[in-house]
Structure formats: C-alpha cells, structure tokens
Amino acid sequence: MCWTLSRREVRRLSRKRAVDLLVVPDLAREMGHDRSITEPFSPSLPADRQGEFFIATSWVLYELYERLTRAFPQVLFESCASGGGRFDPGMMPFAPQAWASDDTDAIERLRIQWGTSLCYPSAPWRPTSRLYRTTRRPADATCDPGRGGFFGVLGYELDPAALSDEDRNAVKGQIAFYKAHRDVLQRGRLVRLRSPFEGDGTKRPG
C-alpha cells in the first residue's frame, strides 16, 4: 500500500504519525519507504494531470520535512536511496545526510559514492562486518571503512561482541584517525584522483 501524499487527508495523517513518533524521548526511529511506486496514480488528480503525480508527491514531501525540521530542530533526519528513488538535491536542506545505497559492499560502494559525489556532498557510509548482505562478500573491518567510509559520516552497523580482537583494535584505530582528521574529511575539498570505473583500483588486495 502506498499513501498518496498529494491528498490533504493523507498529508495530515502522515504529519500526525511522524509527530507522534518524534515526541517520544530517547527513542531511535526509522521511517522508511522500502518500495518504489510502480503504479503511480492519484484519485485527487484528473486523468489529464496524472503526470503530475511524482512532482506533487515530491513537493508535499518537502513540505512535510520542512514542518518536521522546524518543529524538531534537534532531530537529524537522513534520507535514503532505494536505488536512487528516495533522495534528491531538494531533500538536502531537510535531511543533510543521505544513504546513497543499500549496497554496503565497500568495493562496489566506491563507484556509487564517486557518482553521487558529482552532485551531492559526501554521502555517509556505515561499514558492516563479516558478510555484506547484498553481495555476500566477506567484509574486512581492518581495511574496508577507509575505502569510502572516511569520506562522509563514518559509522558502523555491526555487533562489537562478534569482532575478533584484531578487528576490534582496527575499528578503534579507524575511529581515532577519523576524529583526528574530521575537519578535513568532512569539510575539506574533495579532489577525485582516479575514477573507480577505470583500471583495478577498486579491487581488494589478495
């Protein structure tokens, strides 16, 4: 089921549901849109204006975000991709972080973030551990974050208790390095030296 945000009653309900979640203190929230709209249609638009569906949906979503960010300035909103369908430059004033892709494979993510960086600020990337869910390739906590995670908002989605001593020490070192160079990594000028689409620069050693 997809809500038609261009309808007034749906906008009111969406705003109310979001506010009800955000007023609860000390609660982590994730509000996702995890499927693309494959049959775009709005009963609030006549047949000859159905082509306005996505435009209307985007503008209403901006309006909803604007209301929420004004009401909850302490909340950091992050938009998401779903194959490129959930964030765009118009979202940046309201959600300054963007999850560029559900593909968290460090090697593949280099290509994704290279392309994303042509239009957007450095996208955040959170390294995973042990096995990438999208490519099933084993992750390497000792080197993967430095391939892309440093150039954005570094974070980890993993179980620290499941890490080996070697990986745990590697993660500590990565975090210390990131904090020491945060100003350059987050706010510095990004210079692209070599495209990950050329040569074998994205291959992991061994």
Please indicate, yes or no, if residue 142 is contained in any of the structural domains: yes
Please indicate, yes or no, if residue 49 is contained in any of the structural domains: no
At residue 165, what are phi and psi to the nearest 5 degrees? -60, -40
Residue 180 banded pLDDT, cuts 50, 70, 90: very high
Structural domain total, the chain? 1
pTM of the model: 0.71
Across 55-65, average pLDDT: 83
The larger pLDDT score, comparing residue 132 to residue 163, is at: 163
Structure tokens at 53: 């569906």
48, pLDDT greater than 90 = yes
Please indicate, yes or no, if residue 21 is contained in any of the structural domains: no
Domain enclosing residue 161, as ranges: 103-206
Please indicate, yes or no, if residue 67 is contained in any of the structural domains: no
Angstrom distances, CA of residue 96 to CA of 15, 66, 75, 158, 206:
20, 13, 11, 23, 37
198, pLDDT greater than 90 = no
What per-residue confidence (pLDDT) applies to 204? 46
Averaged pLDDT score across all residues of the chain: 75
Please indicate, yes or no, if residue 121 is contained in any of the structural domains: yes
What per-residue confidence (pLDDT) applies to 82? 57
Please indicate, yes or no, if residue 137 is contained in any of the structural domains: yes
152: left (phi over 0), alpha (psi -120 to 50) or beta: left
Quick one: what percent of the chain has pLDDT higher than 90? 2
Please indicate, yes or no, if residue 162 is contained in any of the structural domains: yes
- Any idea which of 25-29, 67-71, 174-178 has the lowest mean pLDDT? 25-29
Q: Buried b vs exposed e over 46-83: b needs ≥16 C-beta within 10 Å?
A: eeeeeeebeebbeebbeebbeebbeeeeeeebebbbee
